[in-house]
Amino acid sequence: MLKVATLVTLALLGASPAFAGKASDWLHTEGGSIRLVTEAEATDGVLRGALQIVLKPGWKTYWADPGDSGIPPSVVASGPGIETPEIGFPAPRLIDDGYAPFVGYDRPVTLALSFPLPDGEIPSNFTAELFLGVCETICIPVQASLEVRDAADGLPAEELVTRAFDSLPRAADETFHARLVGMRGDRMVIEAEYPEGAKLIDLHVVSSEAYMFGTAERSDDDGALFLLPFTDTDHAPARAEVAYTLVTDVGAVTGTLALPQ
């Protein structure tokens, strides 16, 4: 009887939707479809999730700092026991759609989400307020409330989330990084170090309260030096560093640049 009861219990647990993680319904827009999924369990007080953005052919969406135009993605958690996530972005690229160049994605992309859980417990359900832009010839703002609840059986939530985090650029190190080395008028001089033989080197920097950044341009043929246009804002520096992503054809890294004081 004990063996039978144990098998029945395991079968019920295996069929429980909670073990599939959580998910919202698909949000269908003119430019594609969007869904949020999470893992079933948290680690160290953080629930990992993924925002799937399945773009239709010819449509684009934006990175953390698109440039002079564009809408960076925003996800705000609403509900007890969960806080707004940190968003992890796969390596983007500079896109010129004929109107204005911007940094983003022109194919389906999944963003990695890290939701802090102040009480250490995953809420049974919560709402995620979504705001982002998708564009073809014009940009369409997408604003919606996604209701996130126990996912249906068969949804590979763990796999989707793991894939989102595995696709993120790795942390910069001594052999693959960027650093600020000087100033030339209204441009910061950034030196890049990257694996030997790498090509298609691009640098993307996230603006801060103190500085608005433009498109980093190579100042030499091999891409070791970049000139980064910037504009001072009216805000005092709130932090001494800004985030960057250095992209090559053999991989990408993220790190921080120390700002001039």
DSSP code of 176? B
Residue 168 φ then ψ, to 5°: -75, 150
Say which residues have a Cβ less than 8 Å from residue 78's Cβ, sequence separation at least 6. 126, 127, 128, 129, 145
pLDDT of the residue at 14: 40
Q: Identify the pLDDT of residue 9.
A: 36
pLDDT tens-digit map of 203-252: 999 998 888 999 999 987 777 999 999 988 766 555 678 999 999 999 99
- CA atoms of 124 and 118, how far apart (whole Å): 15
Burial label for 63, CB within 10 Å (0-12, 13-18, 19+), is buried
Taken in order 27, 28, 32, 33, the sign of the CA dihedral is positive
Mean pLDDT computed over 101-130:
96
First to last CA, the chain: 73
Residue type, 28: H
Task: Give the pLDDT confidence score for residue 12 in this predicted structure.
Answer: 36
From residue 130, alpha-carbon distances to 85, 133, 142, 164, 241 in Å are 12, 10, 7, 18, 27
In the chain, % of residues over pLDDT 70: 90
Banded model confidence at residue 13, pLDDT cuts 50, 70, 90:
very low
pLDDT at residue 171 is higher than 90: yes
Residues composing the chain: 261
* Domains (range + CATH), the chain: 20-168 (2.60.40), 171-258 (2.60.40)
Cβ-contact 259, 240 below 8 angstroms: yes
